[in-house]
Amino acid sequence: MFDLDRFVADCRDAIVADRTHRAVREVVARAVSDSSGVLRGLGEPSRAGLIRLHHSPELTILNVVWGPMMTIMPHNHRMGAVIGIYSGREDNIFWRRIEEEEGGRRIEAAGARSLSTGDCTALGAEIVHSVTNPIPRLTGAIHVYGGDFFNVARSEWDPETLREQPYDVEKAVRLFEDSNLALARPGAAG
């Protein structure tokens, strides 16, 4: 079974050994390769949300549960990240910054990656991505960040104009809560 204390210790050791997140990726990949063990250790997801598993200045570990069909706008982390899926699916669109003729800046799609149960990927500190859970049930993922995820200034991009703006934590929390409201409606998938 997934042992959270051991997982946190292994992630700490990996961050110290290798700031590139390759070592952390190995720890997360090993954990999600036994997705049923992670489910037993963390519990079956029952609602969308960002659940803190560990938080320190050097390392943040979250249990991210995406609601059915939920999408979150393009955003960055300003620190390396590793994502491992233990239940469901997460589709990532990766974005790159572009300069417009009139001197403005926005982003354009540059690639994509679908992650299913047991998959793991690392994101560099400068990556901009958006996330969609394309299935009609909850998706569970372990996200490991090489820093203090909650106390770093980040950016998000407007989903319509693709223009950069400061990251709005309250808006992100509302997206998860809106997903929970939709999930609670009679006849909703889960």
Domain ranges for the chain, please list them. 4-184
**Can you give the pLDDT at residue 105?**
79
**Can you give the pLDDT at residue 19?**
79
The structural architecture, per CATH, of the domain 4-184 is: Sandwich (2.60)
- Dist. CA 139–CA 65, nearest whole Å: 5
CB atoms within 10 A of CB 115: 20
**Can you give the pLDDT at residue 104?**
67
Sheet containing 128-132: which strands, arranged edge to edge?
105-116, 89-99, 128-132, 71-76, 155-157, 164-166
Contact yes or no for 61/10 (Cβ under 8 A):
no
Per-residue pLDDT of the chain (190 residues; tens, 9 = 90+): 899 999 999 999 999 998 788 999 999 999 999 999 999 999 999 999 999 999 999 999 999 999 999 999 999 999 999 999 999 999 999 999 998 777 667 899 999 999 999 999 999 999 999 999 999 999 999 999 999 999 999 999 999 999 999 999 889 989 999 999 988 887 655 5
**Can you give the pLDDT at residue 188?**
59
**Can you give the pLDDT at residue 111?**
97
- Dist. CA 124–CA 33, nearest whole Å: 22
